[in-house]
A and B are shown apart, each in its own frame.
Chain A
Amino acid sequence: MIKLHNIEKYYNNKIIKTFVLRNINMEIAEGEFVSIMGPSGAGKTTLLNIIGMLDSASEGEYYFYDEPVHKMNEKKLSQLHKSYIGFVFQQYHLIDELTVYENLETPLLYQKVKTNDRKGRVAETLDKFNMVAKKDLFPNQLSGGQQQLVAIARAIIAQPKLILADEPTGNLHSDQGKEIMEILKALNKQGTTIVQVTHSETNAEYGNRIIHLKDGWIEK
C-alpha cells in the first residue's frame, strides 16, 4: 500500500539545511497496524504528514498503491484524501463553528453519502463513543480529551482505508485510551490499515509492528 524510498526531509534555514528525516525506506502493506515511536523532535509527525500527503518530502519517492505521490497534482491528492485517508491530529483540528454532530457529519457530506445512511452512521458513531449527550456542543465546550474523541470519531466515520493517528490517546485518561485502542484494533481487524504515532509502549503493542525513529533515522 505504502512504499517510501530514500525519503529525506530538510528545512532551509537561511543557508543551513536542517534535516528532519534521513534516508527513510519502508513499506506498509494493506491491513497492517504500525506504531511509530521515538523521542520528541525525532520527526514522527513529519513522517506521518508525508505519509498522509500533507507534506512533501524534500527528496525521495513515495508510492501509494504503486502510484507515485511525489508526482501527483493537487486534484489527485484531494481525491486520495477524500476516499482513502482519515486523520487524527495531535491538535484535533475540529471545525470550531460546527457542533460535534455537524463535525462528524461533514466528511460524509463530502463523500455524498445519502441522508438516511448519513444520519444512521453519525448516530451509530456517537453511540459508540458515548457522545450522544454532547452532540450539540461546540468543540470549545468540550474538554481536551473529549475533543480528541470527536477527532477520532470523525476520522473513522468515513470508513477510510488508511487511518493516520498522531498520538490519538495523548490527552485521554488511560481507560479511555484503552477503549480507543480497542476501537482501532477492531477497525484493523476489519481491514483498515493504521499508522499511529505514540509515546506509550502499551499502545504501541496494539500494533503488529513498531518503527523507532531517532533524529530522523529509522533505528534498526
Chain B
Amino acid sequence: MLKNYLTVIRRNLFKQKTSSLINIAGMAIAIASCLFILLYIFDELQFDRFNKNEDYIYRLVIKDNKTGEEFSIIPAVLFHDLMNQIPEFQRGFEISRWLDAALSYKQKIFSENVFFAGKDIFKVLSFSLKEGNPNTALTEPLSVVITPAISEKYFGNENPIGKVLKFNNQFNFKVTGILNEVPRHSSLRPSIIASMSSMKTIDPRRLTDIRESSAYFYFLVNKNASLSIVNKKLNKILEQKYSNVGESPRKFVLEPLSKVYLYAPGSNWEIVSHGSIKYVRSFAVITLLILLMASFNYTSLLTVNIKVRGKEFAVRRLLGADRRGIFGQFLLETAAYLFISLIVALVIVDVFMNQFNQLTGKHLELASLLQWQIVISIIALILFTVAISIIYPLIIIFTSDLLARLKGGLYISRFKPAKLQFGFRQIVTGLQFVITIFLIAAVIIIYKQLNYMLNQDLGFNKEHLLSIQNPYDKDMYSRYEELKNEVGINPHIISVTAGENVPSNNINNYTQVWIKGKKIERGIQSAQIAIDYGYLKTLQVKFIVGRDFSRNFKTDAGKSVILNQAACEALGLRNPIGAELNGINNASDPQTVIGVVKNIHYESFKEKIPPIIYYLRDWSAGNILLRLKGNDITSTMKFIEKKWKGINKDQPFIYSFLDQSYDKLYKSEQQTGTVVLLFCFFALIISCIGLFGLISLLAQTRRKEIGIRKVLGASVFNSFLAMTKEFLIIILAANLIALPAAYYLMHNWLQDFSYRININWWIFIASGSIALLIALAIISFQVIRVATANPVKSLRYE
C-alpha cells in the first residue's frame, strides 16, 4: 500500500515539475531559515548554562528609578558589607576589568585586558584551573592566573607557575595557576584573572571609595533562600550606604545568571559579552511567519490540484479506502514533501553554515541540530506546519460529496455552502498579503536603520585619525611630550594631541556635576574627559558657542571646561559661557564653561551620547591622537613606530585607526541587523512564492471564464481587469491590518537604538504599492498565459 501511495507522490511531483520545484525550493528555504534561526536562538540560550550552580548564581543590578536605566557596576567597597550581612549569600566574588594594561615578561610586552576577581570566583563559577589550587590561587595580593594561550605568548614553553608578569611596568604579579580556556558560552570571558586584593597595591581607592563604581558582584545564593527577602535586605543595606551620595533613587535587584547574557543592558561599561533578547524575539517571530507562509504555500499547492486529487480520493474510497486511509495518504504526501524539503534544507544549511557563522560570529555546526531540545522544536514546528497546511484541503475532501468528487466538482459540499468556502480562500489570500506587506515594511525599515547607522554623522572627522595607546604610569606624560616633539616635523602628520578617551573607546570616568550655588542633588551624571590642547581641533569637532582651550589663557588649565551639547542641555544652561560648575574631577573649586561643542559619538549607536565635560589635565595622555595627511600612510606609520620604540622599549606600540575601530564597534550591531534583514527577505521571497501559487490557483479556476470571455470577443485586458478587481479589495484590506501592525512592531524594534530613523509615511505607501505591484505582475503573467492559450482547450478543461 505504502508503495502504491509513494508511486503516486513521485509521479505527481514529476508531473508538475515547475510547481513542485518552486514549492519545494520555497519550503526548503523556509525550513533552512528556521533551522538557522533555531540554531542561533538555542546557542544564545546556552550562555552560562555550563555553570553547575547556574540556578543559584545571581548578579547584582542597579535600577535607576527615575530613568529606568539598569547597570551593574558597583563600588567594590560594598562587597564585603553585603557578604557579611546577608547570610543567604553562600559565596560571592567581585570582579572588575582593567582595559589595555601593559603586561610584560623580559623583552615581551603586550596590551591586555586584565580581570581582577575575588578569591571565590572558582567556587561560584565553573571555571577550572589546569594547574594551581583554586582555593588559594587568588588569595594573595599580586597573584594572577592565565590561560595556556597567554602563557605561551609570554613564556613560550616554559612553565609559567611562579613566574612574574610586570603590570604597567610597575607591579610584579606572580602566576599562581593556569586557567582553562573559559567555555565558549560564558558571558564572562577572562583570559587573565588577578586577585582583587591586588587593588590594595595598585589602586587602593577602588577598594575604599564609595564613589568609585568599578566592580560587578556575583553571588551564590543558598538553595532554600527566599529571593524576595534577600532583595529586601540588600536594598536596606545599600540604601544606607548610598544615602550620603547624592544620587537619584535606585533599586537593587539580583539578576539570575541565566539572564545576564541576554538581558544585560549592554551599556558601555558592561563587563560581560552579551546578546540581545530583542533579537532572539525578532527571530522567533520571523520563524513563525516563515513557517506560517510555508504552510500557506503548501495549502495552495494542494488546493490547486484538489479537484484532480479529490477524484482520486473518491475512487480510492470506492475501491476500499476509508477515511483513515485517505487521511493517512494525505499525511504521507505531506510528510514526503516536507522530508524532501528538509533534506534540501539540510544541504542548504550545511553549505551556508560558514557564511552564517561569519555573519553572526558564532561557531555553529550542522551537528548542533542533534541536541534534543532542537530536535523536539523541529518536530513541533513541522507538526505545526503540517497541521496548518492540510486542514483546509482535508476539510474540503471530507465534507464534499463523494459523487460530486467523482464528477470532479469538488466545491459542492454537503455541509458548507460554496460561498463560505470562497470566503475562506479570500481570508487565506488576505493573510498572505498581510504578511507580505508587513515584511516589505520591515525590510525597508531595518535596511534604512542599518544604512543610517553606517552613514551617521559622528560629529567629527574619523578619516586618517591614528590613536596610540600610552599606558598609565609615571612616564606617561613625558613619553607623550617626547613623541610629539619627535614626530611633529614629519610633513605627513597634521597634528598631534592626546586625550583620556578617544572616540570608539568606552568612556569610563563619570561624575556628579552641578551648577554652582545649586544643590548637588539637582546636578547630573556626566562623563569627564581629560584632554590636551588641540584635541578638539584635531578631531575637527564643531563649536556651537565659545572657544577651544588655548595656552594664551592662563586659567584654561585647571579652571575652565568645555561642554558637549548634551551636557549643556542636561544642565539646562541657556547661556553656558561663563557658567560655573562644581564636581568636575573632584576639584574643590568650581570650573568655568568657556565653550560648547557638538555632540560626538564615542560609543555604539545604541548608547545615547552622554553629557561630556572636557577639561585640560596632564593625565590626558592615555591616548595619543594624530591626524595624518592620508598619503603615504605605511611609511608614516613606520616612522612613528620607530620614534616610539626609540623613546621607550618597555611599552608596546599599540595603535588603531579610528575609522576601523568604528567599523568594529558597529560590526556586531550590523551583523545581527543584517541577519534579521536577511531572514525577513527570505520570508518575503517565500510569501511571494505563496502569492504566485494562490493567484495561479485563482487563474486556473477562472480559466473557463477567461476562455468564454475571449470567445465572446473580450480583450486580454478585460480579463486582467476582472481578476484584478477582486485582488484590489483584498490588498486594500490587507494594508489596513498590516500597516498598523508593522508600525507598532517596527516602532518597538527601533526603540532599542538611541539613534534611529523616523518611520516615514512613505514607507507604508511604498510597502502597500510594492505588494500591489507584485500581485499585478503575477496576475498579468497568469492571465496572459491563460488567455493566450487556445480558448477551445480552456473550455474543454472543465
Which residues in A have some Cβ–Cβ distance to B below 8 Å? 49, 54-55, 74-75, 78-79, 81-83, 85, 87, 89, 93-98, 102, 105-107, 109-111, 154, 158
Contact = CB atoms under 8 A, between A and B. Distances in A.
A109 B319 CA distance: 9
Of A54, A78, A79, A83, chain B has the most CB atoms within 10 Å of the CB of A78
B320 A158 contact: yes
Contacts of A55: 403
Nearest to B9: A97
Contact of A110 (B7, B11, B321): B321
Nearest to A111: B320
Of A93, A102, A111, chain B has the most CB atoms within 10 Å of the CB of A93
Contacts of B402: 54
Contacts of B315: 93-95
A98 B8 contact: yes
Contacts of B321: 78, 82, 110
A96 B7 CA distance: 12
Nearest to A138: B11
A98 B320 contact: no
Nearest to B408: A91
Interface string B292-320: 00000000000000001001101111111
B7 A102 contact: yes
A107 B319 contact: yes
B403 A54 contact: yes
A87 B7 contact: no
A82 to B, nearest CB: 4
A45 to B, nearest CB: 10
B322 A106 contact: no
A75 B7 contact: no
Interface in B318-346: 318-323, 325
Interface string B268-293: 00000000000000000000000000
B489 interface: no
Contacts of B317: 78, 81
Contacts of A94: 315
B12 interface: yes
Contacts of B319: 81-82, 106-107, 110, 154, 158
Interface in B1-54: 1, 4, 7-8, 11-12, 15
A64 to B, nearest CB: 15
Nearest to B312: A95
Contact of B322 (A82, A102, A111, A154): A82
Of B12, B314, B315, B325, chain A has the most CB atoms within 10 Å of the CB of B315
B406 interface: yes
Given A54-B402, A54-B406, A158-B320, 7 more contacts: A55-B403, A74-B323, A75-B322, A78-B321, A102-B7, A105-B4, A110-B325
Range, interface on chain B: 20 to 34
A109 B12 contact: no
Given A81-B318, A109-B1, A111-B320, A49 B403 contact: yes
B3 to A, nearest CB: 9
A49 B318 CA distance: 12
A158 B12 CA distance: 26
Contacts of A95: 8, 312, 315-316
Contacts of A89: 406
A54 B308 CA distance: 18
Contacts of B311: 93
B323 A97 contact: no
Nearest to B311: A93
A77 B402 CA distance: 11
A78 B321 CA distance: 7
A98 B314 CA distance: 15
A110 B322 CA distance: 9
Nearest to B326: A78
B7 A78 contact: no
B403 A98 contact: no
B313 to A, nearest CB: 10
Of A94, A95, A105, A158, chain B has the most CB atoms within 10 Å of the CB of A95
Nearest to A54: B403
A111 B321 CA distance: 9
Contact of A75 (B15, B320, B323): B323
B318 A87 contact: yes
B406 A97 contact: no
Which 5 A-B pairs give the minimum distances between C-beta atoms?
A110-B320, A82-B320, A78-B322, A107-B319, A97-B11
Contact of B4 (A85, A96, A98): A98
Nearest to A99: B7
A96 B320 contact: no
B325 A96 contact: no
Nearest to B8: A97
Nearest to A79: B322
A76 to B, nearest CB: 10
7 contacts: A54-B318, A54-B406, A81-B320, A82-B321, A89-B406, A97-B312, A98-B4
A106 B4 contact: yes
Contacts of A158: 319-320
A53 B318 CA distance: 10
A94 B318 CA distance: 11
A82 B326 CA distance: 14
A98 B7 contact: yes
Of A82, A83, A89, A109, chain B has the most CB atoms within 10 Å of the CB of A109
B21 to A, nearest CB: 18
Contacts of B4: 98, 102, 105-106, 109
Contacts of A154: 319
A97 B315 CA distance: 12
B542 to A, nearest CB: 75
Contacts of A107: 319-320
B673 to A, nearest CB: 48
A109 B322 CA distance: 13
A102 B317 CA distance: 16
Given A54-B403, A78-B323, A97 B7 contact: yes
A133 B441 CA distance: 61
Contacts of B12: 97
B580 to A, nearest CB: 91
A110 B1 contact: yes
Contacts of A74: 323
Contacts of A87: 318
Contacts of B406: 54, 89, 93
Nearest to A109: B1
A154 B319 CA distance: 9
Contacts of A111: 320
B330 to A, nearest CB: 15
A79 B1 CA distance: 18
A105 B318 CA distance: 14
Nearest to B313: A95
Contacts of B1: 109-110
A105 B323 CA distance: 20
A125 B111 CA distance: 89
A55 B403 CA distance: 7
A89 B325 CA distance: 23
A85 B319 CA distance: 9
A75 to B, nearest CB: 7
Contacts of B7: 97-98, 102
Contacts of B403: 49, 54-55
Nearest to B2: A109
Contacts of A54: 318, 402-403, 406
B307 to A, nearest CB: 12
Of B308, B311, B317, B320, chain A has the most CB atoms within 10 Å of the CB of B320
Contacts of A97: 7-8, 11-12, 15, 312
A214 B318 CA distance: 28
A95 B5 CA distance: 12
Contacts of A109: 1, 4
B556 to A, nearest CB: 90
A31 to B, nearest CB: 23
A97 to B, nearest CB: 5
Contacts of B316: 95, 106, 110
A158 B11 CA distance: 25
